[in-house]
Structure 1
Amino acid sequence: MRLDVVLRVTTKFILAPLLLFALYVQFHGDYGPGGGFQAGVIAAAAIILYGLINGLAAARRIVPDAVLERLIPAGVLIYALVGVAGMFTGENFLGYNHLAHDAVHGQEWGVFLVEAGVFVTVFSSMVGIFYAFAGRRRA
């Protein structure tokens, strides 16, 4: 891909807006379509695009394997802790009403934290799958 100047330059221009759009989808998920899953896939697609154009080693410098190995369970842990926190406050699992001073803010915080956990898990899983397939050698 060293000779494909148009692809390399276009990727450099589109990478930051892709990541910014992923953040927009993440934070807009409470008010409209979107949320953690969609934002995680968009952010992972940006890293995968970077890896396809600049090589797997360049992508691994941005998101190392050690970081992915910690992010995948961290996202699941965030999700589970939010659910268990609701149980400790007298609600059902993933009951958010008692997570703040009133039920409305508790719902907002609960949904935000669960979506953040989903974002982390989906992003790291998708990038990890790309690393696994891209790192294989042909037989």
Structure 2
Amino acid sequence: MKKQAITMALLLAGTTVLAHSGVKDPDVMNRMMGMSEMARQVKLLGSMAKGETAFDAAAGNKALEKISEEASDIPSLFETRATDPNSEALPVIWETFDRFTGHAQELERVSGALAGTLEARADLAPAMKQVGRACGACHSNFRE
């Protein structure tokens, strides 16, 4: 289960980078940049969880803070119904915007509540599971 949470979080992080090439709409690009920043933070947490980099409680807690901060921006980044052929955002976002923003608020809440709680490498897997679940809930419904 621990491996699944880490793998899911890293997969979510890795796919956003490929989506940026060729994006012309500035609103879509801003959204992608915000999502990519969250992906970088998830990747950092995953790298520490897997032992690829040394555990650093301060960096891990800061990553969770950054995820929470970026998540708080999601509703405003999607207010404009901007599209681009390279965007992975589904039209259902704007059809059920309250539900969509609820997922963003949940990610903000979860990651914000976890920020400051990482004290040891063992704390990473449960934290990543919660963050991954919050990210996945939105991605499974609102992203290609």
Shorter-chain TM range is: 0.3 to 0.5
Which is greater in Rg?
1
Which one has the bigger helix percentage?
1
TM-score (norm 2): 0.35
Query: Larger relative contact order (C-alpha < 8 A, sep ≥ 6)?
Result: 2
